[in-house]
Amino acid sequence: MTAIAPLRRKRAAATGDAPPATPEELRAYIPYLVNRLSNRISADQNRYLGTLGLSNAALRTLSVLHIYGRLTVNEISVLAVVEQSSASRTVDQMLETGLVTREQGTGDQRRREVTLTKDGAALLKKIWPRIARRTDVLTEGISRDDLDLCASVLSRMIDNVRQHDL
């Protein structure tokens, strides 16, 4: 294992009223970085998932059902960060291919809850190592401490602009 040198902190772009004026300021402007990175990760993942006949929306749906157990389509939409119409379409496709089931909620009978089937759970488990390898490449050369702090900052920013309780 090689030692990881601490990252040189870049001065972030001033949050004044002027837009970033240099490549360096752009490369320190968090909304830009988040957008650029998200786009790259999604494109890579979509290419890989496409070879399996899956989409990002389907992977994210498998993931949040693995964590939360029972969710409505609306909850899946928020947690999996998929538009409502796309979440609905994705769940329909996954019902057809047997990755999920849908039934009445036990507490509230108006709730229509989606859950993973055995096949859905097995598929998530099977493809995750490939997803994890991509994450390893993404975080290469960055210390655990710096990654943890970055995750905390991102999480805090989500809380700052969230519109749902989920």
CA distance 155 to 133: 23
Residue 11 CB, nearest distance to its own copies (Å)?
Answer: 6
Output 34 or 108, the one with its CB closest to its own copies: 34
Residue 57 CB, nearest distance to its own copies (Å)?
Answer: 11
CA distances to 61, 83, 99 from 92, rounded to whole Å, are: 12, 14, 10
Residue 60 CB, nearest distance to its own copies (Å)?
Answer: 8
Residue 109 CB, nearest distance to its own copies (Å)?
Answer: 25
Output 95 or 121, the one with its CB closest to its own copies: 121
Output 1 or 137, the one with its CB closest to its own copies: 137
Q: 136: how many CB neighbours lie within 10 A of its CB?
A: 9
Which H/E stretch holds residue 104? Answer: strand 100-104
Output 110 or 144, the one with its CB closest to its own copies: 144
Helix 56-68 crosses helix 118-138 at what angle (to 10 degrees)?
Answer: 110
